[in-house]
Amino acid sequence: MSMDLDDAPVSIGAQEHQVGATILCCNCGAPIDGTTSAGALCYDCVKLTIDISQGVQREAVINFCRDCDRWLLPPSSWVVAPPESRELLALCLKKLRGLNKVRIVDASFVWTEPHSRRIRVKLTIQDEVNEGVLLQQSFEVLYVVATQQCPECAKSYTANVWRACVQVRQKVLHKRTFLFLEQLIMKHGAHRETLNIREAKDGIDFFFSQRNQAEKFIDFLNSVVPVTVKTSQELISHDTHTSKSSYKFTFSAELVPICKDDLVAMPIRLAKQTGNITPLVLCHKIGTAIYLMDPQTLQTADISSSIYWRAPFTSLADSSQLVEFIVMDVDLTGKTNGKWRLGEVTVARAVDLGSNDTTYFTRTHLAGLLQAGDSVMGYLLNGSNFNNSEWEALEASNVYSSMLPDVVLVKKHYPSRKKNKKRSWKLRRMNKDEGELLPKKADQERMDREYEQFLRDVEEDEDLRAAMALYKSEKQREEEEMSMAETDDGEDDSPQVDMGELLDDFDELTVKDP
pLDDT, tens digit (0-9, with 9 covering 90-100), for 133-186: 777 888 899 999 999 988 878 776 766 678 899 999 988 887 788 888 989 998
Res. 8: pLDDT tops 50? no
**Cβ-based neighbour number of residue 407 at 10 Å:** 24
- For residues 115 and 197, state if they share a domain: no
Which residues constitute the domain of residue 212? 158-255
> Which CB contacts under 8 angstroms, 24+ apart, belong to 219-223?
220/185, 220/188, 220/190, 221/166, 221/168, 221/181, 221/253, 222/288, 222/305, 223/288
- Please report the pLDDT score of residue 4 as a whole number: 43
pLDDT in tens, 384-427: 888 889 999 999 988 888 889 999 999 998 876 666 567 778 88
Last residue of a domain, one of 221, 240, 255: 255
Residue 28 and residue 36: Cα distance in Å, rounded? 17
pLDDT band (50, 70, 90) for residue 509: very low
- For residues 236 and 307, state if they share a domain: no
- For residues 95 and 71, state if they share a domain: yes
Last residue of a domain, one of 412, 444, 470: 412
Q: Is residue 122 included in any domain, yes or no?
A: yes
- For residues 164 and 83, state if they share a domain: no
Res. 40: pLDDT tops 80? no
- For residues 286 and 403, state if they share a domain: yes
Q: Is residue 434 included in any domain, yes or no?
A: no
- For residues 294 and 370, state if they share a domain: yes
Q: What percent of the chain has pLDDT over 70?
A: 82
* Dihedral sign of CA atoms 48, 50, 53, 54 in order: positive
pLDDT band (50, 70, 90) for residue 254: very high
Q: What percent of the chain has pLDDT over 90?
A: 31
- For residues 82 and 188, state if they share a domain: no
The answer to whether the pTM exceeds 0.85 is no
- For residues 248 and 291, state if they share a domain: no
489 vs 253: which has the higher pLDDT: 253
Q: Is residue 495 included in any domain, yes or no?
A: no
Q: Is residue 2 included in any domain, yes or no?
A: no
431 vs 359: which has the higher pLDDT: 359
Highest mean pLDDT among 196-205, 403-412, 431-440, 446-455: 403-412
Res. 46: pLDDT tops 80? no
Q: Is residue 398 included in any domain, yes or no?
A: yes
Residue 183 and residue 215: Cα distance in Å, rounded? 20
Res. 353: pLDDT tops 90? no
Residue 253 and residue 155: Cα distance in Å, rounded? 24
Q: Are 315 and 283 in contact (CB under 8 A)?
A: yes
- For residues 171 and 143, state if they share a domain: no
**Lowest-pLDDT range of 65-69, 86-90, 160-164:** 160-164
- Please report the pLDDT score of residue 435 as a whole number: 60
- For residues 55 and 114, state if they share a domain: yes
- For residues 245 and 283, state if they share a domain: no
pLDDT in tens, 89-112: 999 988 888 888 888 889 999 999
- For residues 373 and 240, state if they share a domain: no
- Please report the pLDDT score of residue 500 as a whole number: 67
Mean pLDDT across the stretch 112-120? 89
Structural domain count of the chain? 3
Q: Is residue 103 included in any domain, yes or no?
A: yes
Q: Is residue 499 included in any domain, yes or no?
A: no
Q: Is residue 481 included in any domain, yes or no?
A: no
Last residue of a domain, one of 136, 151, 166: 151
Single-letter amino acid code for the residue at 211: R
- Please report the pLDDT score of residue 57 as a whole number: 84
295 vs 6: which has the higher pLDDT: 295
